Each structure stands twice: as C-alpha cells, then as structure tokens.
Amino acid sequence: MLRKVLIANRGEIACRIIRTCHRLGVATVAVYSDADRDALHVSLAGEAVHVGPSPAAESYLRGDAIIDAALRAGADAIHPGYGFLSENPDFAWAVTSAGLRFIGPSSDAIRAMGLKDAAKALMEKAGVPVVPGYHGAEQDPDFLLDEAERIGFPVLIKARAGGGGKGMRRVENAEAFREALASAQREASAAFGDASCLIEKYIAHPRHIEIQVFGDDHGNVVHLFERDCSLQRRHQKVIEEAPAPGMPEDMRRAMGEAAVKAAMAISYSGAGTIEFIADASEGLKPDRFWFMEMNTRLQVEHPVTEAITGVDLVEWQLRVASGEPLPRLQDELFISGWAFEARLYAEDAERGFLPATGQLVHLDLPEELARVDSGVRAGDRISPFYDPMIAKIITRGPDRQTALSLLSSALSEVRATGVTTNATFLRRLTMQTDFVEGKPDTGLIDRHLSELTFHRAPSREAMALAALELSGTLQPKTANDPWGGLSGFRLWSQASDFVELDDRGHHVPVSFASTGEGAYAATVDGKRVDFSLSRSGDGACLLEVEGSKRRVHLVSGQRDVTIFGDGENWHFGLLDPLAGEDEAADGGDRIVAPMPGLVKLLRAVPGAAVAKGETLAIMEAMKMELTLAAPRDGTIAEVLVAQGEQVVEGAMLLTLEPEDGEPEYGEPEDG
Ligand code: ADP
Ligand code: ADP
Ligand code: MG
C-alpha cells in the first residue's frame, strides 16, 4: 500500500479522498491556495502545503509547484481528484518522471481520450458504437455544412477539446449552421485554446447513461454498472442515479461489454467512465446507445456507484496505484438497491442560476438521511475562484422510490443562509412527475424550468412569524441558540407590535398581538391571520394555522431571518427606517455586475455610441458565461473596470450618458 498521498485538489473531493486514505492508514498531504487557507480539506489532512494565490491557474493548476510539494513532503503518490490537473497527460507524465505514482491511468491513456475526435476514431476501430457524425480534421465551414447535411439535422457541434458542456451548439437547419459553427469555434478557442469542432447527429430523446470502469496493471478490466445522468442543465449534470431506470438486462450487458472493450483498447488502469448517449424515444434498446467520450478520472457522481455496489472507489484507486490487482472481478460485482446524488450549489435558480458567493453563515446538511460529501462548513466563504459546489447529497434505498423519497426529504432539510443555494430547485425536481416515473431525459429540466425555478410567495403566516422573530417577541431563546446570548444587545429587542418587513425589496407592514399562550393575531399587508406556535431548541417551530400544524425552521441573523419550510425558504430583512429610497432611480444608465466573476471581455470605450442589445461586456464565473448588453441606445460615459478584472456582485462596470432631456445627476466633471 502507498504510505503518503498528496491530494492535488480542494473542496469536497479532496475531503472525500483524505477520508479513505485515513481509513486505510495512508498519510495525507493537502495543497491550498490563498483563498483556501482555512478550508476544510486543509484541516482534515495530516499536513498541508501552500501552493499559490487564489486563481486556480496560479495554484491548483501549477503542476510543478504541486510535484515539488509532494517531493518535499515525502509523499509517494499524487491523487488529482477531478477537474484541475486530473485529465492533463503532461502532468501525469511529470508526476511519474519525478518518481511518484500518479493515481490514475497512464499519460498515454489520458492523451488517447483527451480529444473527442481522436477518441471517437479510436473507439470506432475498437468496435464500440460511436455517435454518427464527422470527427475528421477538415474544418472548412462549407465542408462541415455538407457533412451536417449528410448526417441530417438536427446536429450537435462540439469542441473536440471540450468539457463542462462548453463549445456545444445544437443546430436545427442548414441556415443556422454557419453562425452556430462560428460561435462554437469562438467559445472553444477562448476556453480550450483549440477551435476545432466535430459534428454529431443530435440524438432524439437523449438519455446520458455512463458506465464506471476499472482496470489494473495486471490486465484486468471490470465495469461497475451504469449511472443515469440525464437530468442536466446546459449539458451539466444536476441529479444522477444508479442504476438507470427502465434499463433492460440485455442493454446493461451490451453497455458493460462495450465499456470494457473501450477501456481494454487503451490498456486502461484505474477508475474511468465511458459516457454514452442513448436514444430513448422507444424505451432503452441494446442497439441504441453510442459512445460520447471517456473521462479518465474519478467522476463527480461516483458515490451512486459506491452506494449500489458497496465498493469504495477511492480505495480501489489506491490499491491499483500501489500495484495490487482489482479487489473484485466481474462475477463478484452486483447491483444492490438504488441510489441518487444531487449537486447542491451556491447559485440562484430564480435568477437564471447566477453563481452566488459570500459567507455561508448557517449551514445544516441532512447527515442523518443521506451521505453528505461536502468541502465546506458554516462560516466558510464560497469564493468566486472555484466551482461553487457546497455538497453532494447521496441517498440509497432498497428501491428507486424509497431512495428518491429520501433524497426529497434530505433536500428539504438543507438549511443554508448567507449564500443562495439551489436546494429548492433540486427538491422540486425530485417531485417532478416524469422524473418520479423514471423517465428522465436531458431536456426535462429545460421543458419544466419555470415550475422548477419560480419564486413561491411566502404565506402570510410565514411573514407574521418573521415579523415576530425580528421584533424580538419570540425571546427568550434556549441556551444553544447562537443568538440567544446576544439577545440583550439586539437592536429592536423589545416586543413590538408593528414591524415593516423587507421581502426582496418589497415593504410589508405587519402588526400583531398576542391572543394567548403562544397564540397570535397578525395583520399582514392589510389581511388578518391567526396562528399559534411552539418553539423547540434548534430553531424548529411548530406552526398551527386553522387546526393544521407544520414544522418550520427559523434561522436568524442580526437584522434578518430566513424561514425554512416545505422545502422552500424565504428571507426577510427588517426595513431600515433611515435608509433612503432614491437609489436605482436612474437604473438604465448603469451596467452592474449581476454576479461575482471575471470581466472576460470589455467592448466599451468612453464616448462610443452603442445600440440597444449590443454586447458591452462578457462576464465569466466558474460555471457560467454571461453577456451584458446595452439596455438602450446611447453613449458610453464611463468605464470603471478593466478586462481581466475580478469583480464582486453589484460592482458598477460602466455607465451610459443620461438620455436627452434627462436631468444630469452624475459628477459634474466634464460639463
Ligand atoms: P462534455 O465534455 O462537455 O461533458 P459530452 O460530449 O460529454 O461533453 O456531452 C455533454 C452532454 O451533451 C451530454 O451529457 C448530453 O446531454 C449532451 N449530448 C452530447 N452529445 C449529444 C448528442 N449527440 N445528441 C444529444 N445530446 C448530446
Ligand atoms: P463529471 O463528468 O465527473 O460529472 P463534471 O464534468 O460535472 O464531472 O465536473 C468536472 C468539471 O468540474 C471539471 O472539468 C471542472 O471544470 C470542474 N471541476 C471539477 N472539480 C473542480 C474543483 N474541485 N473545483 C473547481 N472546479 C472543478
Ligand atoms: Mg461529458
């Protein structure tokens, strides 16, 4: 067995790898950037080495610094996790050349699968079914259009160096082809430094089904069955499950065999995933699945496979890397039960899934109901530098329905404040009819987007409860309430019978009076509501309205409260009576950053005329690219940021000259 492993990653996956190492008595070394000085993975590891500033390019992507750290710490191997350097063949090569083990496949295997076009050619040769399309070297637009017509619309244009859903365009017809190709090439060249694209048939009613494979250095390759990752948004996975619903046994066998053949073709060692796309328009059929790509690393969603096979895939990785044969062979592997994984992110589903950053002030994760793989704790910051994942929530049950109900319950027990999360969106998804019936497909989320993301208005009781809490009426609190000890110093601590709530910028007047032990009558925005409540220690409240009781949770800040109930949550502030209301009066004249991130492109010069809808800037955060367009015709007044600058949410990027006839409120500098 290995003695000491350096984990070249951060977040949940670093923590997850460290745990298995420790269980097996393997010492661990973490690496960290400036932003991660106090991160969870650093505190879990036996030792930790600082490798650079916060941007990944200057820390987690610095192969040389990481190898150096491993050598100095006396590690004998490096585990790359996923993302970052995990699929970089030069890094794998450099690790081995330095006399260390790379916990993953050979650099040759990584290189063979690194470009989608070469990988497909290789798989075709090995007899693995490949998505019909063109994956040659010719990039002339006329030629590619001819190919697209030969393949038949709709087609999918993909960057050959692509990943994370970037550089992909679905094209419906020949007229739209050239423009889509040009924009895919632009995106590919910016993201991967390689503009080359391939063209694929767009598979009807697509389901993403992938096979976990594992090889060792003794020539063995097994598969650990399938995962269904069809619930996607912008080609990125949202909820995954294993096994795949509706999977016929003959198709499972065919896919497993194809995946093993694919891995054998490159003498694969370690954990890998063969991603297939299946046409499910007439149910799953053994002749309707095709190779898409291979990920030569541990996958984000590997825990669902662990849950149905009882295998610790990281343990297998460590054993194989130390030269041991696979712990189990194919006829010793079985599926038992059903599992789901939901990816909990810091993002605002109601606002187009904008990435959210900030301090996670409060964080309850459903550890009694689920396996929770997380890399953060309450008090940590979600920074704009990395993937905004908070946790993976994994549930298992004897059957699909049980595992899915558990996931639903677990998600309704997620309580985070300080940073917006996608928990409500995920919870609604677990109750979506097609998904519940076992019919996921990659377009499901888009088709149901509004019902999955709309803002459910808070009930009057919820607002009344918020008002009671913010007025201090619900004191005294129990000893283990974090704010309990501070109650004497709280603003507005006297019981008051009138509060003005701030509900996402709307002012809601609430008056209330006690009508008995724990009973209240309130008037919310002019309408009356009677209710009673009892509060237990941990912020939980039993709220009774017209004879029916509901459990809700209150999480309070100094001047705000979040109410969690029914898998939804509402945040209320206390209106500051002194705050002016004259902000935002000239809204159309300023372009502000709608999310924290990098100003990737800036097309604005002071004095330039712009037309409504014209692109002024492109912002990028880890998971998303956003175009900021001119809100009206006008002239650029000021540009307050530079291309390449990292900005916070709400930062002013540029301003337009006021429109004719409008009074001038700006600085009186350039009269
Ligand atoms: P990435 O490297 O970005 O993961 P993939 O090739 O794995 O790129 O594709 C990502 C997703 O795009 C898939 O999971 C699937 O939902 C969708 N997709 C890819 N190829 C096709 C296709 N030919 N037809 C329909 N959907 C596809
Ligand atoms: P999978 O195919 O395993 O489901 P995804 O493609 O969703 O995984 O996620 C892998 C991608 O997520 C990587 O290519 C990378 O862009 C990003 N990523 C992975 N790990 C991290 C991390 N620790 N921090 C930031 N981004 C990451
Ligand atoms: Mg993929």
564-585, pLDDT tens digit by residue?
998 999 999 988 665 544 444 4
Ligand 1 touching residue 273 (CB < 6 A): no
Q: Give the side-chain half-sphere CA count within 13 A for 43.
A: 9
Nearest to 616 by CA among 587, 639, 597: 639
* CB 275 near ligand 1, within 6 Å: yes
Q: How confident is the model at residue 466 (pLDDT cuts 50, 70, 90)?
A: very high
pLDDT of residue 670: 41
- Give me ligand 1 centre to Cα 234, in Å: 10
Which of 274, 292, 445 has most ligand 1 atoms within 8 Å of CB, for mutation?
292
- Lowest average pLDDT, out of 156-165, 177-186, 288-297, 643-652, goes to 643-652
| SS3 assignment, position 223 | strand
What domains are there in the chain, each with its CATH number? 4-103 (3.40.50.20), 132-201 (3.30.1490.20), 206-336 (3.30.470.20), 344-454 (3.30.470.20), 460-475+493-574 (2.40.128), 581-656 (2.40.50.100)
What per-residue confidence (pLDDT) applies to 485? 40
Q: Is 277 in the pocket of ligand 1 (CB under 6 A)?
A: yes
Nearest residue by C-alpha to atom 15 in ligand 2? 83
Mean local confidence (pLDDT), 44-71: 97
Closest among 115, 89, 105, 79 to 264, alpha carbons compared: 105
Q: What is the pLDDT of residues 103-149, one digit of tens each?
A: 999 999 999 999 999 999 999 999 999 999 999 999 999 999 999 99
Determine whether the shortest distance from the Cβ of 154 to ligand 1 is under 6 A.
no
Is residue 664 pLDDT above 60, yes or no? no
Average pLDDT over every residue of 180-202: 94
In angstroms, what is the span from residue 164 Cα to ligand 1's centroid?
Answer: 9
pLDDT band at 671 (very low <50, low <70, confident <90, very high): very low
Q: Which of 650, 610, 605 is nearest to 629 (CA)?
A: 610
- Confidence at residue 475, expressed as pLDDT on a 0 to 100 scale: 66
* Residues 6 or more apart whose Cβ sits within 8 Å of residue 334: 309
The Å distance, Cα 161 to ligand 3 centre, comes to 11
Question: 302 pLDDT exceeds 50?
Answer: yes
Whose CA is closest to atom 12 on ligand 1?
A: 235
Least confident of 19-28, 245-254, 475-484: 475-484
| 237 within ligand 2 shell (Cβ under 6 A) | yes
Q: Average pLDDT for residues 72-77, to the nearest whole number? A: 98
Nearest C-alpha neighbor of 342 from the set 403, 386, 297, 399: 403
**Is 297 known to be catalytic?**
yes
Alpha carbon of residue 249 to chain centroid: 32
Residue 450 φ then ψ, to 5°: -70, -40
Distance (angstroms) between ligand 1 centre and the Cα of 276 equals: 9
**Single-letter amino acid, residue 427:** R
Q: Look at ligand 1, atom 13, and give the residue with the nearest C-alpha.
A: 235
**Higher pLDDT pick, 536 / 226:** 226
Q: Is the CB of 83 under 6 A from ligand 2?
A: yes
pLDDT of the residue at 644: 87
Q: Is 59 in the pocket of ligand 2 (CB under 6 A)?
A: no
Q: Which two tokens stand for residue 665?
A: 């409120």
Fill in the amino acid letter for 460. Answer: R
pLDDT at 319 over 90: yes
Whether 300 lines ligand 2, by a CB cut-off of 6 Å, is yes
Structure confidence by residue, pLDDT tens digits, 371-413: 999 999 999 999 999 999 999 999 999 999 999 999 999 999 9
Which of 54, 59, 82 to mutate to test ligand 2, by most ligand atoms within 8 A of the CB atom?
A: 82
Q: Is 163 in the pocket of ligand 1 (CB under 6 A)?
A: yes
**Catalytic residue among 62, 227, 233, 297, which?**
297
Q: How far is the CA of 300 from the centre of ligand 2 (A)?
A: 7
For a mutational test of ligand 2's pocket, the pick from 36, 61, 300, 376, i.e. the residue with the most ligand atoms closer than 8 A to its C-beta, is 300
301 alpha carbon, closest ligand = 2
Residue 389 contacts residue 82 (beta carbons within 8 Å): no
200 lines ligand 1 (CB under 6 A): yes
Sequence-separated (6 or more) residues with CB below 8 Å from residue 99: none
Q: Which of 205, 208, 235, 445 is the pocket-test mutation for ligand 1 (most atoms within 8 Å of CB)?
A: 235
Give CA–CA dist 111/88, Å, rounded. Answer: 8
pLDDT tens for residues 445-463?
A: 999 999 999 999 999 999 9
Residues across the chain? 671
Ligand with an atom nearest the CA of residue 205: 1
Q: What is the pTM of this model?
A: 0.88
Q: For the residues of 159-203, what is the DSSP string, one character each?
A: ETT--TTTTEEEE-SHHHHHHHHHHHHHHHHHHHS---EEEEE--
How many angstroms is it from 235 CA to the middle of ligand 3?
8
**Helix or strand run (H / E) with residue 463:** helix 460-471
Distance CA 668, CA 671 (A): 6
Banded model confidence at residue 586, pLDDT cuts 50, 70, 90:
very low
Q: How far is Cα of residue 649 from the mean position of the Cα atoms in its chain?
A: 18
How confident is the prediction for the chain on average, in pLDDT?
A: 91
Q: Would you state the pLDDT for residue 156?
A: 97
Taking the C-alpha atoms of residue 553 and residue 358, their distance in angstroms, rounded to an integer, is 22
* CA 375 – ligand 1 centroid, Å: 28
- The closest-lying atom of ligand 1 relative to the alpha carbon of residue 167 is 3
Q: Of 271, 207, 214, 272, which is closest to residue 241 (Cα–Cα)?
A: 207
Work out which ligand 2 atom sits closest to the CA atom of 295. Answer: 2
Give the tens place of pLDDT for each residue, 38-57: 999 999 999 999 999 999 99
Nearest CA to ligand 2 atom 3: 299
pLDDT at 58: 96
| pLDDT at position 487 | 38
Closest residue by CA, ligand 2 atom 27:
83
Query: Which of 446-455, 641-650, 662-671 bottoms out in mean pLDDT, i.e. has the lowest?
Result: 662-671
Q: How many angstroms separate the alpha carbon of residue 482 from the centre of ligand 2?
A: 35
Give the mean model confidence (pLDDT) for residues 227-250.
97
Mean pLDDT computed over 95-110: 98
User: What letters, b where the CB count within 10 A reaches 16 and e where it falls short, cover 542-561?
Assistant: ebbbeeeeeebbbbbbeebb
pLDDT tops 80 at residue 666: no
Within 10 angstroms of residue 447's Cβ, the number of other Cβ atoms is 12
- Residue 331 vs residue 475, higher pLDDT: 331
The closest of 56, 14, 23, 25 to 373, measured between CA atoms, is 14
Distance, in Å, from the CA atom of 205 to the CA atom of 278, rounded to the nearest integer, reads 8
State the distance from the centre of ligand 3 to the C-alpha of 229, rounded, in angstroms. 10
pLDDT at 490: 34
Could you tell which of 300, 442, 444, 446 is best to mutate to test the pocket of ligand 1, judged by most ligand atoms within 8 Å of the CB? 442
